[in-house]
Amino acid sequence: MGMNPERMAEAVAQAIQMATAPLAARIAVLEARPMGGVEWAGTFQDGTVYDVGQLATRGGSLWLCVRKTAATPGSDASAPYWRLVVKERR
């Protein structure tokens, strides 16, 4: 005796939904991110809060903000917030 085709279809649909739910959640997070890529913020200014995607220069190097911060790019405390894009030429 085989499984009822309707029950089999329901089981397959449920398995697909369970397998794809984490992917759907990840897509929702990615799609909720602001669009527009990067934004030029100019020369780094102490006390300024930088948003994700902003680029700033400091000491001849170019930095990308990856987490909202007022930390100074290149400092020990800035590692979670800034990524070096272009290193100053020596």
CATH number at residue 63: 2.10.10.20
List strands edge to edge, sheet with 61-65.
39-43, 54-58, 61-65, 82-86
For the stretch 20-60, pLDDT in tens is 999 999 888 888 876 667 899 999 999 999 999 999 999 99
Which residue segment(s) compose the domain that 51 sits in? 39-86
Total count of domains within the chain: 2
Looking at the fold, whether 77 and 51 belong to one and the same domain comes out as: yes
pLDDT attached to residue 88: 85
Distance of CA 58 to the CA centre of its chain: 23
Average pLDDT, the chain: 90
pLDDT attached to residue 54: 95
pLDDT higher than threshold 70 for residue 1 = no
Element (H, E) at 83: strand 82-86
Looking at the fold, whether 58 and 44 belong to one and the same domain comes out as: yes
Looking at the fold, whether 43 and 79 belong to one and the same domain comes out as: yes
Classify residue 56 by burial, with Cβ atoms within 10 Å: 0-12, 13-18, 19+.
buried
